[in-house]
A and B are shown apart, each in its own frame.
Chain A
């Protein structure tokens, strides 16, 4: 056990130990039971991914470390893993775009919160999914502030978030270069949480639809508002940094979910769940499951590589896309195999993989669909970004 954050390590272990008891209720209710988070302790949960210099845990100080931890949590329940408190996807654009003062104030909110606190990242819109640069939400300058108008959809943890990083355009004609990021507080007049979507899977993470109508925020809400920005100039690049950060972590959640399902399937086979099968049929199933161990090892390495590049300041967009595209395809293949092997298993039984089947489909859609990832990969090779 690492000595410099024993409390954090214990919190993670406790979370992983407690999680299985809450999987069913989370899937049914579409929400994480407060008791689970209370057990972890808000102080720990909120700061899992916050940088150490702002009071975060050294256990998750690098993307590479986060991938190992999130794989473990994902193995227990991917939906809860994605729905855990903390800044989440709102953090990378803050790191990339915000001023020093904005960053300190933003992270302090999470560190000082007495209960679980979520952040959210709002860029997708009903009319512009994959092409985020075509967003239509506007930020009109009005006196000493900005007025936001528009609608955001499929925002992870959007309904729970106290702070939302909202991407809006100050000049639609300027395309991606007109986009700015604003930190918007829940409760700001004009900011409405319309609804949570009824999702097929990953129900612990809530996809929300948010509306901004005459929503006035101070100029200081714009990340990097006073010209002394973080390392990145345009806000869309800040959004890209969020995906570069998130995709390796999400890949690890996917790998974790697959490992969890695989181990359960192997245990089912070992304990005679398919005892009516011939020895040959049993061997074929075991062999199929064994091959997924290796495929998952490859997916894990792709995630590690992307995280390692992110940590070392290299361009990681392509690697992040590759990791996510590979793992999400793999998860659906595994889910299909398991549903074929254990067809018509009693609901809720150990050999019931229907929840994993529902979850796995989401992996190929959220944080950029597999098709979009592949287009980005192909473009990178076309453009000579990768030899």
Chain B
């Protein structure tokens, strides 16, 4: 509980999540970039050629340089920038956000975390040799890993750094909503070294920054779901009026708006405070439940049109699930939960 001494400290405008003025040019540029992505998208997804083209243009935004440049943005603004950047990109294209941020954020992370410039340090899962991977995550036997065939990167939860050698793939399949991101599993015979041997404390910094960025992407995808559902409800007519004017649909949209705002405020607060308690127990349940409720309702608003290919809703429904699960995979740091409980 708050002590009495908190009564007068609450006036700070901590809910004014507008980015600092020095970031506005960058975010405007990202907004323009995201708008361009929207224009190029045909149907639910960005065609592969367009996706590759936009990925190639991403470095023009110069986010890594801005974030780490001595005269650029203060490190304190880094979390919010990563979140807002992920959000803008996620709202435009989850595919682009996934692949683009993985590279861009990774470059930033490596510098911010003071990592040695490993060849593929940006990756969440880094190749160290033909048969050796640095797993920034919980890569226990049989644990699921995510492999992006295009980026040549493996993904894994970040709550421990584990070196996995001599692994071989026992199964390969696409991931829900991201067919290019392949799900791979280590063999039973893979040799796993203790965590944190190579990265030590830096892995925590990496994990947090990935959380901030991926939290933004999830929020962006959720906004996109809401936007498309609301747009559909405004144009689809039934029983003589737009379905948005039917109370059943209105109530569903209101619930979606509630889930969206609650999740976004929660994530923004944690990100703005650079709060490690985002990884507290129970946070994953909240984020996954909230994301699921919104995605489920968005598809429901459009009925069969939401379920079949054509509108973006079908794809976003799946992507939201995978992104929420990925975000949730990084939650579970016990000391952080203690800090959270002490605060509230």
Q: Would you call B340 an interface residue if the criterion is a C-beta within 8 Å of the partner chain's C-beta atoms?
A: yes
Which residues of A326-353 have CB atoms within 8 Å of chain B's CB atoms? 326, 329
Which residues of A168-186 have CB atoms within 8 Å of chain B's CB atoms? none
Q: Would you call B8 an interface residue if the criterion is a C-beta within 8 Å of the partner chain's C-beta atoms?
A: yes
CB pair B269 A297 closer than 8 Å: yes
Indicate with 1 or 0, residue by residue over A275-307, a CB within 8 angstroms of chain B CB atoms.
Answer: 000000000001111111111111101101100
Q: Give, as a whole number of angstroms, the nearest-CB distance from A324 to chain B.
A: 10
B282's partner among A2, A291, A326, A329 (CB-CB below 8 A) is A291
Contacts of B265 in A (CB 8 A): 298, 301-302, 305
Indicate with 1 or 0, residue by residue over A307-329, a CB within 8 angstroms of chain B CB atoms.
Answer: 01000000000000010011001
Indicate with 1 or 0, residue by residue over B1-17, a CB within 8 angstroms of chain A CB atoms.
Answer: 11011111011010110
Contacts of B234 in A (CB 8 A): 382
CB pair A9 B4 closer than 8 Å: yes
Assuming A9-B4, A290-B337, is B258 touching A381 (CB within 8 A)? no
CB pair A298 B286 closer than 8 Å: yes
CB pair A65 B262 closer than 8 Å: no
Contacts of A322 in B (CB 8 A): 257-258, 261
Indicate with 1 or 0, residue by residue over B102-131, a CB within 8 angstroms of chain A CB atoms.
Answer: 000000000000000000000000000000
CB pair A374 B250 closer than 8 Å: yes
Q: Give, as a whole number of angstroms, the nearest-CB distance from B16 to chain A.
A: 8
Q: Give, as a whole number of angstroms, the nearest-CB distance from B253 to chain A.
A: 5
CA A106 – CA B251 in complex, angstroms? 40
CB closest chain-B residue, reference A318: B257
Indicate with 1 or 0, residue by residue over A368-381, a CB within 8 angstroms of chain B CB atoms.
Answer: 00010111011101
Contacts of B2 in A (CB 8 A): 68, 71-72
Q: Which of A1, A64, A65, A374 counts the most B-chain CB atoms under 10 A from its CB?
A: A374
Q: Would you call B94 an interface residue if the criterion is a C-beta within 8 Å of the partner chain's C-beta atoms?
A: no
CB pair B286 A294 closer than 8 Å: yes
Q: Would you call B230 an interface residue if the criterion is a C-beta within 8 Å of the partner chain's C-beta atoms?
A: yes
CB pair A2 B8 closer than 8 Å: yes
CA A302 – CA B258 in complex, angstroms? 9
Interface residues on A, range: 35 or more
**Main DSSP-derived SS at the B contact region:** helix
Q: Would you call A75 an interface residue if the criterion is a C-beta within 8 Å of the partner chain's C-beta atoms?
A: yes
CA A240 – CA B276 in complex, angstroms? 39
CA A292 – CA B266 in complex, angstroms? 13
Q: Which of B11, B15, B251, B266 counts the most A-chain CB atoms under 10 A from its CB?
A: B15
Q: Would you call A62 an interface residue if the criterion is a C-beta within 8 Å of the partner chain's C-beta atoms?
A: yes
Q: Would you call B344 an interface residue if the criterion is a C-beta within 8 Å of the partner chain's C-beta atoms?
A: yes
CB pair A378 B11 closer than 8 Å: no
CA A288 – CA B281 in complex, angstroms? 9
Q: Would you call B244 an interface residue if the criterion is a C-beta within 8 Å of the partner chain's C-beta atoms?
A: yes
Indicate with 1 or 0, residue by residue over B330-341, a CB within 8 angstroms of chain A CB atoms.
Answer: 000000010011
Indicate with 1 or 0, residue by residue over B232-274, a CB within 8 angstroms of chain A CB atoms.
Answer: 0010000000001101001101110110011101100100000
Q: Would you call A219 an interface residue if the criterion is a C-beta within 8 Å of the partner chain's C-beta atoms?
A: no
CA A358 – CA B279 in complex, angstroms? 33
**Main DSSP-derived SS at the A contact region:** helix
Q: Would you call B196 an interface residue if the criterion is a C-beta within 8 Å of the partner chain's C-beta atoms?
A: no
Contacts of A290 in B (CB 8 A): 280-282, 285, 337
CB pair B254 A65 closer than 8 Å: no
Assuming A322-B261, A377-B258, A378-B244, is B15 touching A2 (CB within 8 A)? no
Q: Would you call B283 an interface residue if the criterion is a C-beta within 8 Å of the partner chain's C-beta atoms?
A: yes
CB pair B285 A287 closer than 8 Å: yes
Assuming A13-B4, A382-B234, is B255 touching A298 (CB within 8 A)? no
CB pair B258 A259 closer than 8 Å: no
Q: Give, as a whole number of angstroms, the nearest-CB distance from A143 to chain B.
A: 46
CB pair B340 A301 closer than 8 Å: no
CB pair B10 A65 closer than 8 Å: yes
Q: Would you call A12 an interface residue if the criterion is a C-beta within 8 Å of the partner chain's C-beta atoms?
A: yes
Q: Would you call A59 an interface residue if the criterion is a C-beta within 8 Å of the partner chain's C-beta atoms?
A: yes
B7's partner among A2, A296, A297, A299 (CB-CB below 8 A) is A2
CB closest chain-A residue, reference B14: A304
Q: Give, as a whole number of angstroms, the nearest-CB distance from B43 to chain A.
A: 24
Please give the residue numbers on chain B whose beta carbons come within 8 Å of chain A beta carbons, in ascending order.
Answer: 1-2, 4-8, 10-11, 13, 15-16, 230, 234, 244-245, 247, 250-251, 253-255, 257-258, 261-263, 265-266, 269, 280-287, 289-290, 337, 340-341, 344
28 contacts between A and B (CB under 8 A): A59-B8, A65-B8, A67-B10, A259-B1, A259-B344, A291-B282, A291-B286, A293-B344, A294-B286, A295-B262, A295-B286, A298-B265, A299-B262, A301-B15, A302-B261, A302-B265, A308-B16, A322-B257, A325-B254, A325-B258, A375-B254, A377-B253, A377-B257, A378-B250, A378-B253, A381-B253, A381-B257, A382-B234
| Apart from A290-B337, A308-B15, A378-B244: 4 A-B pairs, beta carbons within 8 A | A293-B280, A298-B290, A382-B234, A386-B257
Listed from nearest, the 6 A-B pairs whose CB atoms lie closest are: A290-B282, A378-B250, A374-B254, A291-B282, A291-B285, A298-B262
